[in-house]
Structure 1
Amino acid sequence: MSQANETAASVVTEFFIVGFPGLLPKYYSLMAALLFCIYIAVITGNSLIVILFVIERSLHKLYIILLSLSFSDIGFCTVALPKVISRYWFNDGYIGFYVCLFQRQLIHYFGTLNSLIMVIMALDRYLAICYPLRYPVLMTNRTMRLLIGFSWVTAMISPTISSMQTVTLPFCGPNMIAQCFCDSQSMNQLACADVSLQNRISYGVAMFVLLVPFSFIIFSYASILVSVLRIANAQGRMKTFSTSATQLTIIIIYYVPRFVVYSSSNIPNTQMNSSHKIALVMFYSLLPPLVNPFIYCIRIK
């Protein structure tokens, strides 16, 4: 069948967000309330960073990174949570085909953007601790703005390529999204066509977006650890190590579970229970935006 005929065969006009498949109806309101509280906490915490940045213009350039991270976290949760909250609070889980596609685009966009921002943050800390004398020259305000702007633009490339592939697929039957929001894996599973090529491309792009930044971050923090161990002042060594260790923990929570989820769907004999998979996705999607304001703002003097 030609691609034009396959595209014409699409009859699905809307999808239904399933959320957590095993959740009993009597817990729907509780789940909606929990997700709503998380959403409000994310918006409030990250908005405080934005307000702080606007009020105090003399802040260190690191706060330019935190500002971008806050906007990205707010954007992700605003795209991901309202529909699943509505699904559990008002039993309204239906989402239009193109709205779902748009949500999927933004979900992967903000995920990629966060990854790039964390690379810039790791680079900034690496230069500041390992090359303190050259740091003011290497990482100027202009350089920081260029890196952040580059991240916001290039983060759109991989989700756009994947979305262009998805929109050509025929959807002619099942419309139940086995996830709390629209994403590549969930949508591809519902296509009534061979999506093995799309899955391989999506997996390859995901691994590139995850592993390349993560490898650099691990390298930078390993170098930071070596530099910290050389610090003669025990108090300064402990302070720097404590801050870096906390940040590295959140970074590991961000990257490692994502690798597990993507690999479980693309590597033979590594299938994961759908309920456990969805719970893990929500864990690594919501925990970093929730705790980032405390880790990066409150702990940094």
Structure 2
Amino acid sequence: MLWQNWTTISEFIIVGFPGLHSDYYGLVSTVFLLVYIFTVAGNTFFLVLFVTSESLRKPMYIILASLALSDMCFSTVALPKIIAKYWFNDGASPFHACFFQMQLIHYFGTLNSLILMIMALDRYVAICYSLRYQTIMTHRLMYIFNITAWISAFIAPTIATLHTQQLPYCGPKLIIHCYCDHISITNLACAENSKQKVLAVGEALFVLLVPLAFIIYSYCHIIVSVMKLANAQSRWKTFATCSKQLCIITLFYVPRCVVYVASILQFQISTDFRILLILLYSLIPPLINPFIYCLRTHEIRKIVIRWLNKQRVIQETARINVIAM
């Protein structure tokens, strides 16, 4: 059945928070813009450090560089349209552009889940097989893991997008969200869409729960290994090393689990609160990731301090030369 021929709309309208009063549109758009600027700036800063510093060419930093690039891309896909909606009252998104955004939104969400799983694997090997870490986690293997994640993350979102795009859309066209996502678009279809919803939820739970199960498994082994250490200082240092990853993992997975569990159990939560939860797990980790890793990683702090000192010396030299002239 060619449902595409039944589609009579040419665009969707991004609504954002349906309960938000228009008096606050300027404030909300400013907040979103600042989040976007700091996300792009922070992740770009980390990527520049990674590319220009030989000392960062280590497996863990390869993972962080991959995560930084993914976070920056996700924010670039998700935020500009909602900023335009609240700033310029431009919430219109062309039909195919909306599906393209949906594809990328779910692609980068899946990719981040896979990258966090690789990060947990790296910490698992580093702590549980510390003597063999250098031989197991080679640069080549880490690049293979990350490239595989970037490629395989396309599978589930592409299947969901193709199935959803085949549905007919003849109105309404208001997307009650801050960007085009699968559930919001599917709810607007003019035909039976239960199969698409079940497929989408199944795919979302698969890309969410499989990496999460591995992460929980690996960190359980890490905790057991750390508790076996005789030196309390060594235990604390190891836990501190993993705390950054656990913080990001918690922010990424816990709100997602709340949203999915509420949906499966048909627990009623307000639309605005649901959107807020989704934005929390979508936008906060990309915003704070580079700051957590840059400010709490001794090696990166040393590189930044060395770079700042170098710039200070260059400025002092330039000032002296100007005076001498």
**TM-score using structure 1 length:** 0.96
Pair 1:297-2:285 in alignment: no
Distance (whole Å) between structure 1 residues aligned to residue 204 and residue 194 of structure 2: 15
Distance (whole Å) between structure 2 residues aligned to residue 35 and residue 257 of structure 1: 19
Task: State the Cα distance separating 1:238 from its structure 2 match.
Answer: 1.3
Task: State the Cα distance separating 1:271 from its structure 2 match.
Answer: 3.2
Equivalent residue number for residue 65 of structure 1: 63
Distance (whole Å) between structure 1 residues aligned to residue 137 and residue 211 of structure 2: 19
Letter of the 2:282 counterpart: S
Equivalent residue number for residue 159 of structure 1: 157
Letter of the 2:252 counterpart: Y
Task: State the Cα distance separating 1:234 from its structure 2 match.
Answer: 2.4
Q: Alpha-carbon deviations, 1:99-148, whole Å to 9, x = none?
A: 00000000000000000000000000100011011111211111001000
Letter of the 1:293 counterpart: P
Selected match of 1:141 from 139, 142, 162 = 139
- Aligned residue for 1:95, secondary structure, equals strand
- Aligned residue for 2:54, secondary structure, equals coil
CA RMSD of aligned residues (A): 1.2
Distance (whole Å) between structure 1 residues aligned to residue 21 and residue 241 of structure 2: 41
Distance (whole Å) between structure 2 residues aligned to residue 217 and residue 269 of structure 1: 27
Where do 5+ consecutive residues of structure 2 fail to align?
299-325
- Aligned residue for 2:93, secondary structure, equals strand
Q: Alpha-carbon deviations, 1:211-246, whole Å to 9, x = none?
A: 110011011111111222222332232122123134
Identity over aligned pairs, percent:
53
Equivalent residue number for residue 78 of structure 2: 80
Selected match of 2:184 from 177, 181, 186 = 186
Relative to its length, the structure with more helix (as a share) is 2
Contact 2:244–2:293 (CA<8 Å) still a contact in 1? no
Selected match of 2:282 from 281, 285, 299 = 285
Task: State the Cα distance separating 1:268 from its structure 2 match.
Answer: 4.5
Selected match of 1:216 from 214, 217, 228 = 214
Letter of the 1:110 counterpart: F
Structure with greater Cα Rg: 2
Q: Alpha-carbon deviations, 1:241-285, whole Å to 9, x = none?
A: 1231342132122112212223333x2532322111001000111
Equivalent residue number for residue 320 of structure 2: none
Moved runs in structure 1, 4+ residues, more than 3 A? Answer: none
Equivalent residue number for residue 315 of structure 2: none
**Does 219-228 or 278-287 show the bigger shift?**
219-228
Letter of the 1:33 counterpart: T
Letter of the 2:290 counterpart: P
Pair 1:23-2:20 in alignment: yes
**TM-score using structure 2 length:** 0.89
Distance (whole Å) between structure 1 residues aligned to residue 297 and residue 231 of structure 2: 19
Q: Alpha-carbon deviations, 1:175-217, whole Å to 9, x = none?
A: 0000000010000000011110000000111111011100110
Letter of the 1:102 counterpart: F
Distance (whole Å) between structure 1 residues aligned to residue 266 and residue 41 of structure 2: 42
Q: Alpha-carbon deviations, 1:8-41, whole Å to 9, x = none?
A: 1101110111111111000000000000000111
Letter of the 2:297 counterpart: I
Letter of the 2:221 counterpart: S
Distance (whole Å) between structure 2 residues aligned to residue 175 and residue 144 of structure 1: 43
Number of residues of Structure 1 aligned to a counterpart in Structure 2: 297
Where do 5+ consecutive residues of structure 1 fail to align?
none
Contact 1:115–1:210 (CA<8 Å) still a contact in 2? yes
Equivalent residue number for residue 237 of structure 2: 239
Distance (whole Å) between structure 1 residues aligned to residue 126 and residue 19 of structure 2: 48
Equivalent residue number for residue 306 of structure 2: none
